[in-house]
Amino acid sequence: MRTRPRTGTLMTRAWTLPVLAAAAVAAGLLTTVPYGSAGGGGADDGAAAGPAAGRLAAAGAPRGKARPDARHVVLAVHGGAGTALQRDETSPEREKAYRDGLADAIRAGKKVLDRGGDSVSAVEAAVRSLEDNPLFNAGKGAVFTTDAGHELDASIMRGSDLAAGAVAGVRHVRNPISAARLVMTKSPHVLLAGEGADDFAAAHGLRPVTQDYYWTQARWDALMAAKKKAKGARASGAALADEQAKGTVGAVARDGKRDLAAATSTGGLTNKLSGRVGDSPVVGAGTYAKNGTVAASATGDGEIFLRGAATATLSNLMEFGGKDVAAAAYEVLVKRLPKLGGEGGVIALDGEGTFDAPHSSEGMLHAYLTEDGTIVTKIFPDETPPHT
Ligand code: ASP
């Protein structure tokens, strides 16, 4: 999945504010907003298998069956699939920062739903919160392209009428998910790319940011690690883990009218070629919402999710194959996509509030809110073992 660096283009940019940006990262890591989350849960059965088996043997076992993670869910978010955070290597501060980040996003969406807002507004609010959090690979904290720039993708979809909007390769939008929503509501199009998308967002009131806005030390180190790896050299474990932890964000929701919505936002893959577009802004690949079937947001190896038309297939398996949300999500994520050579995960919510978050990657950060107001965050493999 990783692209090879184009030699000669690295370090051509002048990074003017690295110290300030690093301080912002540190501030993100030290977030102290309280959360009412309960970790853990999930249904663990079966024996550990696959590449993550070593760690999972100690931490918990993967699930071998398709069954939902939770019921009565109204809103869920993810913070990306990939190499998992490891309990024994994660400081309490870092654990709290991730759980707070996910819970804050849930709370942002909940606020919208609590005051009678629709599911589209709820997923937009949740994703904006994650985009503003430098821990995640979307908005502030987006990964670097191979020539040390940032190009962001996002999409949003409304389940009631299949309206959708998306932006790809934007370089100057603070919250790409809001640009995607504007494409949906204020243009006759579904997907705008590149400069045109940046201009459209600015013309509709989104204040532009410079590329330096997205900068974080962790993503810079991850780019360096990816480039070293591509040359066959060794990089530090932390930087490599960050490079592999994809960190895309997404949200799914159902509102008081039982309308579904889904949204996804990402910086893409570390060290990607400039111009590369993944699955996240593509309706039916990274994002899909259709009343009667599912609201789904994916994360993982984008090329595979594109080729497998991941979230549209999930919906189709429900609509035409008679599967429930967990069975359909399991079929796509565990049975079909790995055969194409990639891994990742999806959060999937049906109109009844049945929720599943299957993933073939070692981990997938996610959280959900149930009707009674409970927020559950899951960040470690023993809370969310991969489905096999
Ligand atoms: N799917 C995203 C992409 O390929 C990456 C991710 O989910 O982490 O752009």
User: 3-state SS string over the chain?
Assistant: CCCCCCCCCCCCCCCCCHHHHHHHHHHHHCCCCCCCECCCCCCCCCCCCCCCHHHHHHHCCCECCCCCCECCEEEEEEEEEECCCCHHHCCHHHHHHHHHHHHHHHHHHHHHHHCCCCHHHHHHHHHHHHHCCCCCCCCCCCCCECCCCCCEEEEEEECCCCCEEEEEEECCECCHHHHHHHHHHHCCCCEEEHHHHHHHHHHCCCCECCHHHHCCHHHHHHHHHHHHHHCCCCCCHHHHHHHHCCCCEEEEEECCCCCEEEEEEECCCCCECCCCCCCCCCECCCEEECCCCCEEEEEECHHHHHHCCHHHHHHHHHHCCCCCHHHHHHHHHHHHHHHHCCCEEEEEECCCCCEECCECCCEEEEEEEECCCCEEEECCCCCCCCEC
Does any domain span residue 203?
yes
Q: How far is the CA of 293 from the centre of ligand 1 (A)?
A: 23
Q: Which residue has the tokens 């051509």?
A: 12
Per-residue burial over 237-257, b if 16 or more Cβ lie within 10 Å, else e, is eebbbbbbbbbbbbbbbbbee
The per-residue pLDDT for 53 is: 31
How many domains does the chain contain in total? 1
Q: Is residue 150 part of a domain?
A: yes
Residue to mutate (ligand 1; options 248, 287, 297, 307; most atoms within 8 A of CB): 248
Q: Which residues form the domain of 109?
A: 18-378
Residue 2 counted as domain residue = no
- Look up the pTM and report it: 0.84
Residue 26 sits at φ, ψ, to 5 deg, of: -60, -40
Q: What is the spatial distance between Cα 264 and Cα 165, in angstroms, rounded to a whole number?
A: 11
Q: Which amino acid is it at 141?
A: G
**Residue ranges in the chain modelled with pLDDT below 50:** 1-62
Amino acid found at 194: G
Task: Examine the residue annotation and report whether 370 is marked as an active-site residue of this protein.
Answer: no
Q: How far is the CA of 385 from the centre of ligand 1 (A)?
A: 20
Residue that is written with structure tokens 């507004």 in the block: 121
CATH of the domain at 308: 3.60.20.30
In this predicted structure, what is the pLDDT of residue 244? 59
Q: How far apart are the CA of 177 and the centre of ligand 1, in A?
A: 15
What is the rounded distance in angstroms from the CA atom of residue 67 to the CA atom of residue 355? 9
Query: What amino acid occupies position 343?
Result: E
Quick check: CB of 267 below 6 Å from ligand 1? no
Which residue's structure tokens are 């889904």?
262
Q: Cα(292)–Cα(325) distance, rounded to whole angstroms? A: 11
How far is residue 124's CA from residue 133's CA, in Å, rounded to a whole number? Answer: 14
pLDDT score, position 89 = 87
Radius of gyration of the chain (CA): 19
Report CA(110)–ligand 1 centroid distance (Å): 25
| 292-316-308-197 Cα dihedral, nearest 10 degrees | -40
Choosing from 269, 272, 304 the residue with most ligand 1 atoms within 8 A of its CB, the one to mutate for a pocket test is 269
Is the CB–ligand 1 distance for residue 278 below 6 Å? yes
Distance CA(134)–CA(15), nearest Å, equals 17
Give a yes or no: residue 6 inside a domain: no
Give domain status of residue 148, yes or no.
Answer: yes
Which residue in 83, 248, 299, 311 is the catalytic one? 248
Q: Is residue 1 part of a domain?
A: no
Pocket of ligand 1 contains residue 219 by CB under 6 Å: no
How many other β-carbons are positioned within 10 Å of the β-carbon of residue 10? 15
In this structure, the dihedral spanned by the alpha carbons of residues 159, 165, 169 and 171, taken in order and rounded to 10 degrees, is -110
- The tokens for 256 are 């008081």
Question: Is 13 part of a structural domain of the chain?
Answer: no
379: amino acid identity, one letter:
I
Q: What is the pLDDT of residues 23-57, one digit of tens each?
A: 333 333 222 222 233 333 332 222 222 333 333 33
Q: Check pocket membership of 80 for ligand 1, CB cut-off 6 A.
A: yes
For residue 302, give the ligand 1 atom closest to its CA.
4
> CA-to-CA distance for 129 and 125, rounded, in angstroms?
6
Residue 104 lies in a domain: yes
